[in-house]
Amino acid sequence: MKIIGHRGCFYETENTIKSFLKAFELGADGIEIDIQSTLDKFLVVSHDSNLKRLTGIDFDINKKNYSELFKMRVKKEKIPLLLEVLELAKEKNKSVDIEVKNPNDFYSVCELVSKFNYEETIISSFFHKELYNNKKNFYKIRFAYLYSHEPKNIYDYLNEVDFLKPNINYLTEDYKKFSERVIPWIVNEVKDFKYIKEFNLWGVITDFPEKLKNFLDNKETQENIFINFLMKSIIKEESNINKDFLKLNLRNIFSNIVINEIKINDKMIFLDRNFPIFWNINDKITIKLQKFSLEDKITFNIKDFGIFEIEIKELIKNLS
């Protein structure tokens, strides 16, 4: 089963060469990337057509020439061309799953992939009709339907494309019959790791390649990735504790995340903002807690990644 890093991996800026290399370093067998095209038809790797989410600048890739995009940086990282990523994957002998975000880009993407002629490449999309039509013309390329629903007939899908990419929430027992042609996404939680182990999947898309690899290799550790992330986010000089009061100042140093909830049994937690918390890189949050036990567990509910618990006594160790 191949481990495919989602936009690279969680630890570096998404869809950048740095993120792809980090994913490979962490044990990924391939990467999943997203494609946009510039006004002058350069194919570049970006999930969003507009770069405001990542840069704060209202810059629409589809309405700008590549010469303008070339000057842009996403957290100091260059936005790569599709060709550059294909060359990197081939050099490292890794798979590439290319998600086409705009149906008008299919022909250009297929043409480039066909000319590059690297067999460890898949083209996928939510636009099934357009994907299927292009598959007829580029029969040597492997294609995949991407979706978040239960198909009326899985066999019909399989007759049209090479792979199926269901959201992990729709990976039912029915897929076991042909799981070697299935690539679920995004698989980040241990409960899902356990579930997919029952299948003989071609691949799995995850934000945490090493977390999945360790699980599959039976090397689960007591600390999960989020707990490590949390520990490194604590600003020690701005945090303190005594027998009745705990204050934690945290700075996000890794990646933008959304915190849906933080709770601890029936005890009151005081925060400096309301849920959901959009915790962006370099942002601080403050957590205050009164009248607690060292055995109490703080629970974090993180959008897209799941629910994580840590005992207060473990946090205290990190403050010493």
Helix, strand, or coil here: 53?
helix
Residue 310 phi/psi, 5-degree rounding, is -145, 135
The residues near 78 (Cβ < 8 Å, ≥ 6 apart) are: 16, 17, 70
Cβ-Cβ contacts under 8 Å for 117 (sequence gap 6 or more)? none
Q: What is the token pair recorded at 133? A: 């039509």
**Which residues are CB-contacts of 55 (< 8 A; sequence separation ≥ 6)?**
72, 73, 74
Structure tokens at 2: 């191949």
- Is the pTM value of this prediction over 0.85? no
What is the structure's pLDDT at 245? Answer: 86
**Structure confidence by residue, pLDDT tens digits, 19-71:** 999 999 999 999 999 999 999 999 999 999 999 999 999 999 999 999 999 99
pLDDT of residue 62: 97
Closest CA to 118 of 134, 98, 100: 98
- The reported pLDDT for the residue numbered 219 is 59
pLDDT the model gives residue 15: 97
Say how many C-beta atoms besides its own lie within 10 A of residue 115's C-beta: 8
Distance CA 54, CA 31 (A): 20
Q: List the chain residues with pLDDT less than 50.
A: 220-223
pLDDT for the residue 222: 40
